[in-house]
């Protein structure tokens, strides 16, 4: 369970550049939730993710993971329990290293807190077995430099890197936005497959209303640094684009 209590974030406080990015955000994300997030540019969505990942400190409020207060916990410590994917699949993957070396780096870090790109035969088998489940032929590309894959293939490997040792929380930061429609669809499909299979709690920021409505069990809408709408269950399932467009400007 991930819980934010009265979290506010103000950038450059006390200066002319002062900007309140989050205002008194309180929310509890339950285990197994798949939460989609909509909101206009500048609404505070990325700041919300940065707070959860420990990338930026809160100005006030608290963050809990499974009842543990992690408000002061450093980003690299949290990274073992909180995975993150970005819009650009190049973020978080090393283009000159092979698919298997990238997987090894992520796996060693999530398991032992240290980065190692050494790949044993057992690792190779383990990686190939997992990649096979994506049905993209990536198990035959283990030795290929990841930079030579297509955006969709590279994002699929990035997704696998994030879930090989399943994190408690997976943050998906517009992770399909840079892909062509077919690849985006495939990545969303395997995202659903993996988070269900590994029982990962996931949050996904998207500007694609259809994706936000058709995926996940809960929808949060951000506006002006606050969560202004929170739909779940049957209420979320019944939502149509025209029901939510009024709650924020795109």
**Applying CB under 6 A, which residues contact ligand ADP?**
11-12, 19, 21, 39, 41-47, 222
Distance, in Å, from the CA atom of 105 to the CA atom of 124, rounded to the nearest integer, reads 13
User: End-to-end distance of the chain based on CA atoms, in angstroms?
Assistant: 30
To ligand ADP, the closest distance from the beta carbon of 129 in angstroms equals 36
Choice between 116 and 228, CB closer to ligand ADP:
228
Closest distance of CB 11 from ligand ADP, Å: 3
- Smallest distance from the beta carbon of 21 to ligand ADP, in angstroms? 3
Q: Pick the closer one to ligand ADP by CB: 41 or 120.
A: 41
Q: Which is nearer to ligand ADP, 19 or 185 (CB)?
A: 19
Strand partners, 203: 35, 171
Select 102 or 176, whichever has its Cβ closest to ligand ADP.
176
Alpha-carbon gap, residue 116 to 226, rounded angstroms: 40
Smallest separation, CB 83 to ligand ADP (Å): 19
Q: Which residues pair with 34 in a beta bridge?
A: 202
Q: Measured between alpha carbons, how far is 234 from 21 in angstroms, rounded to an integer?
A: 31
Distance of alpha carbon 242 from alpha carbon 250, whole angstroms: 12
């Amino acid at each position: 369970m991930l819980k934010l209590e009265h979290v506010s974030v103000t950038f450059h406080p006390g200066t002319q550049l002062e900007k309140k990015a989050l205002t008194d955000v309180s929310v509890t994300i339950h285990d197994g939730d798949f939460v989609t997030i909509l909101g206009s540019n500048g609404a505070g969505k990325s700041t919300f993710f940065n707070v959860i990942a420990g990338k930026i400190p809160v100005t006030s409020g608290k963050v809990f993971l499974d009842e543990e207060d992690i408000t002061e916990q450093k980003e690299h410590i949290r990274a073992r329990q909180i995975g993150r994917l970005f819009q650009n699949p190049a973020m978080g993957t090393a283009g000159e290293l092979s698919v298997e070396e990238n997987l090894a780096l992520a796996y060693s870090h999530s398991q032992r807190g240290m980065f190692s790109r050494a790949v044993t035969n057992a690792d190779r088998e383990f990686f190939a077995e997992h990649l096979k489940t994506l049905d993209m032929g990536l198990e035959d590309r283990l030795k290929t430099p990841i930079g030579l894959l297509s955006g969709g293939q590279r994002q699929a490997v990035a997704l696998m890197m994030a879930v090989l040792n399943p994190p408690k929380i997976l943050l998906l930061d517009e992770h399909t936005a840079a892909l062509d429609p077919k690849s985006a669809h495939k990545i969303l499909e395997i995202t659903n497959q993996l988070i269900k299979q590994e029982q990962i709690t996931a949050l996904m920021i998207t500007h694609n209303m259809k994706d936000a409505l058709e995926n996940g069990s809960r929808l949060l809408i951000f506006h002006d640094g606050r969560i202004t709408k929170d739909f779940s269950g049957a209420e979320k399932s019944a939502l149509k684009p025209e029901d939510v467009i009024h709650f924020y400007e795109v």
